[in-house]
Every structure is written in structure tokens, then in C-alpha cells.
Amino acid sequence: MAPSSNTPPAERQYGTIGGVRPVPIPTPTRGASQHRGPYRTLSGHSRSARSQLIQRDGEYVTDVENNDLKRGLAQRHLSMMGIAGSIGTGLFLGLGIAVQKAGPLGALLGYAVVGLIVCAVQFALGEVAALLPVTGSFVRHAELLVDPAWGFAIGWNLVYGNLLSIPSEITAICVLFEFWTDINPALFIVIFIVITLAVGLAFIRVFGEVEFVFALLKIFLVVFLIILGLIINLGGIPGTERIGLRYWHDPGPFVEYIASGSWGKFLGFWAVMTGAVFSFAGVESLAMAAAETQNPRRAIPLACKRVFARIIIFYMLAVFVVGLLVPSNDERLDGSGDSVAQSPFVIAAQAAGIPAIASFVNAIVITSAWSASNQSLLAGTRVLYGLALKGQAPEIFLRTTSWGTPYMCVLFFACFMPLSFMSLSNGAMTVFWWLVSLTAAGVLVSWASILFNHIRLRQGMKKQGIDDERLPWHNWWTVYSSPGALVLCLVILFTSGFSVFTTGRWDAATFVSSYLDIPIVLTAYIAWKMRNKTKMVSLDEMPLHAIFDQAYSPHPDEPPPKQRGVIRFASWIWD
């Protein structure tokens, strides 16, 4: 039925979605925002008036982003965040546990399966985010393409996941410092909480440059460790013998887990999945700060396209080399007995008689863990800011500094960083793996949402007769990869804690850490749906024509800057 003349202009043009008006993307007006005290207001409106605008007129939502946030992230920042943002303790510390549980071949296959899921997620995210580059990324996409209540649930789930991810990385730092000293870990926890906050409150460009530098360090470290590992394995260090594939034969390529025989080997391979998901966590966060990114419709697809291959190469080679260097029955991999849990690369360097290299590697791994916590802080705070934009979080989280940082969001996250002090009473590795399971479940829910958003977008386009060529970026195979990866995500999510259901292995802490996220998401979804009586967006009601019509108006592409000097020769890493 055609809209009446009394219908508000926004609804006449765009229709409604489950009773909630869609959010068209306005063209920002130069000079609309002025500094007024510690944070800005929208076009001269007071904060309370701005809140009313957000509640009443959805078309102002992205105007708030354009006015209150600063575009300080360049394409190289996004690419490096995508490449190295997920390279943290999951790679340097978690790979040893993976080899111990599944054996060298089992770990390699486990990471390969999760790597394929990551590829599908990256391409699905890139296609949707290039069309809708908004802060909060796939959380805001879910409102338009799935259900406003699902956007609320997935947004708070992501906030919750990142709240846990930061203390998990800081806890891992405590584990790594035990390699050198027995000083009270509380000192290191306080230090890293303070410097994480400092970066989080700084201008987004500062964060981008810090992460860019540490990302380069992590990439060069991974390359160095892969080369060093191959040299050690082939007997290239004086005084060491060639290892070759010795550990693939003894203890063997697979490790039996819980059961025996082929079934036990399969369970060992499947037990790697949760750790592998945690290792890749963060690759989806490169689009979270779209409103703070220069030329997002060009930068985000480039980052997604160029990042995934490098990630897979780094991880696959790293897993393979670890399986060559350390036997799966080495107790130092998980800190059992009297040993301290160590990175398998550190163990290999010690075995080769080069302790200086071991200390160097441990130091860089610590910086990698801190870098990963920084990225979790960025992703979590921007999602929280996006929720506040839509009235799904308190308005106080919209407050930004004069340089465009949502400081109240950062301070909220700071309240949960002391969770890392749990490691002082329960053991750092125990707490680390609790947090890994909690975080991995949240990551799987986020990946599933990204894939489902993409599936819904393509279905809506087909229903409304919109050709795929109109997408700013698209790939023919994603209509097949997204459904397949979605099924895998759900299977891993529901089987992540399978060990507790086997005879004699019930553990309440493991069960809760594996499955707590599922009722949290469902409760949030149902509660918001009942409160606001939202409906799932029908394919006909998606405001796709309006979105495509305005797809390029807010942020017209600027020509990419030409690289000069030394930077030109290194830029292949991110370009």
C-alpha cells in the first residue's frame, strides 16, 4: 500500500522495518560540528536534543558519527590491523596446546578448517561493509538486514566478548613474564592496564600508528620464527642435530583424546577448534571503526581481500613449523608438572642452545599480546558507541573527547580489565583458558552474524531485482561460501565443550565457559524483541534501493596516495 501524504518524509522514501525506520546515510555538511567543551554536539543541538534527534529521526544517526568521530585511520592501518591484529597469544602460546591435544597434523588440519571459515567471513564482511561503512559494522548491518533485536543482541554480545578478550591477553602476558621472573604478576597487570588505557583514549590516528608498528613487528617476528624454526629443524644451528619429521613419527601425527583409535584422533583434531577460533579472533574488527576510516568503501574491501591470504599463510606455516620443532608430549606446552607454560618457539630456541633468541622471542610475544588487547578495546568501544547511537545503550556512551575518542566507552571497558587479577588466585593458564573459551564462543556468534547478514543481503537483492554488479565489491563464490561457513560456525559453537559430556570429565567451569554465551545472546534477543515488538526484516522491506542510491555520497573516494621513499618497498605487506 502506498504511503499517505501524512507519512513522515523518511518513511515515505524508505518505508519501515518491523516498525523501526531504517537509517539512510546522509551527506555530511561541512562545518556542522563545533567544539563545545570536552565533547561536541550535533549542529548546535544540546546533548539532550541530540538524543531526541537520534530517537526520533533515524537519518541523523550517521551524521553524529561524521561530526563526533575523526577519520584518522588510513587503508594501511586497516590492512595491518587485519593482518596482524589477530596475531597474539592465540598464535604464540595457543599453538603449543593445539599440538599437544591433536598432534602436529591434527593441529594443522584444525587451523586449516578455521582458516577457511575466516576467509568466508572476511569476504562476506567486505561485501556488506563496503556498501554500509558505519561504526559498529556488522552489528548495525544486522538491524537493517535481519532484525533490530538481533542487532541489539549481537552488539552487546560483541561488547561482552571484547570485555573478556582484553583480560585474557593481559593474563597471557603474566604467563609469558614467568619465563624470566617470579615477581608478583600484579605489577605487570597494572602496567599493561595503564598503557592500554592510554592508547585507547588517544586520537584514533595514534592507535593506528601504534598498531601499525606492532603489526610490522609481529609479522617480521612470525617470518623470523618460521625461518628460524626451519633452520633448527634442518640442523642448521651448530651443535644441534637434524630433526626433520621425527616428531611426526614419534609421538606421531595425531594424538588420541578421550577415546582411542581413529575416533580418539578425530576428537583430538576437533578439540583444537576453540583455540583456533580464539587465535583468529580479531580479523572481523577491521571494519568496526568505519566512521573513523578514510575512504572506507575503498579501504575496507582492499583490507579484506589482501589480508586473508597473508593470515592463512602465516598461520598455516607457523602451525606446521611448531609441529616440526616440539613433540606433542612436551609438558612445557601447557605448564603441567613443575614447568612454566611457554611458547613452542621459545622451547625450540632453548633446545637449540640459543637462550638470547628465546628471550627476544618472548619479549615480542608479550608486545603481540598487548597489541591484541588494544584491538579488542577498539572493536568493543566502537560497537558500544554504535549501540548508543541507536538508543540501545545509555546516551552517556556517546560522549567523545575534542579529538573524537568515545572516552566513556573506553572508561567502561577499563572497569573490566581487572578481571585479569583472577590469575593471581587460580593460576594464570587456568584463567587464560577459561577466558579463551568464553571469548571464542562470542567470536563464533559474531562470525555467524556476519555470514547471515551477507546471506540476507544477497537474498534481499535478488528479491528486489538488484544486480550484484551494483555492489561496491562482490565475488561470485560468496553465495556458496557464506552458507557453508555459517553451518561450520554453528557446529563448532554447539560442540566446543564436548569433553564435559564424556564419562568422568564433567567440569562446571569448562561447561560454563563453553556455553554461557549462547543463553546470553538469546536472552538479549528475546528481551529486546518483546520490549520493542520488533519483527524480522522481510526481504521486500529492506531499504536496499535507498542504500544503493546513496552508497557513494557520504564518503566519495579520494585517489590513493602514491608511496614514496623506503615505505614504497615495504608497502607490499599491506597493499
Distance between CA atoms of 294 and 372, rounded to whole angstroms? 22
pLDDT tens-digit map of 280-338: 877 776 666 555 556 667 767 777 776 666 666 777 888 899 899 889 888 777 655 44
What pLDDT does 294 receive? 60
pLDDT band per the 50, 70, 90 thresholds, residue 483: very high
DSSP state of 34: E
What pLDDT does 316 receive? 85
What pLDDT does 149 receive? 93
pLDDT band per the 50, 70, 90 thresholds, residue 124: very high
pLDDT tens-digit map of 532-570: 998 899 998 888 888 887 665 544 444 555 555 555 545
Torsion sign (Cα): 436, 438, 440, 446: negative
Report, as an integer, the average pLDDT of 1-6. Answer: 43
pLDDT for residue 52 is more than 90: no
What pLDDT does 31 receive? 35
pLDDT for residue 108 is more than 90: yes
pLDDT band per the 50, 70, 90 thresholds, residue 498: very high
Distance between CA atoms of 272 and 492, rounded to whole angstroms? 10
pLDDT for residue 495 is more than 90: yes
Distance between CA atoms of 25 and 549, rounded to whole angstroms? 10
Distance between CA atoms of 256 and 268, rounded to whole angstroms? 6
pLDDT for residue 496 is more than 80: yes
Share of the chain above pLDDT 90, in %: 20
- Phi, psi dihedrals of residue 511, rounded to the nearest 5°: -60, -45
What pLDDT does 213 receive? 80
Under 8 Å between Cβ of 489 and 117: yes
Q: What number of CA atoms fall less than 13 Å from residue 235's CA on the CB side?
A: 7
Domains and their CATH numbers in the chain: 72-573 (1.20.1740.10)
Give the three-state DSSP class for 201.
helix
Distance between CA atoms of 363 and 355, rounded to whole angstroms? 12
pLDDT tens-digit map of 344-370: 877 887 777 877 777 787 787 788 778
pTM: 0.78
pLDDT tens-digit map of 399-438: 888 877 888 999 999 998 888 887 666 666 677 677 778 8
pLDDT for residue 56 is more than 90: no
Cis? peptide before 251, omega within 30° of 0? yes
Report, as an integer, the average pLDDT of 252-260. Answer: 91
Distance between CA atoms of 459 and 453, rounded to whole angstroms? 10
3-state SS string for 321-366: HHHHHCCCCCHHHCCCCCCCCCCHHHHHHHHCCCHHHHHHHHHHHH
Distance between CA atoms of 257 and 275, rounded to whole angstroms? 15
What pLDDT does 5 receive? 42
pLDDT tens-digit map of 205-237: 777 787 788 778 877 888 888 888 899 888 888
Give the three-state DSSP class for 405.
coil
What pLDDT does 444 receive? 93
3-state SS string for 246-271: HHHHCCCCCCCCCCCHHHHHHHHHHH
- Among 53, 192, 64, CA closest to 136: 64
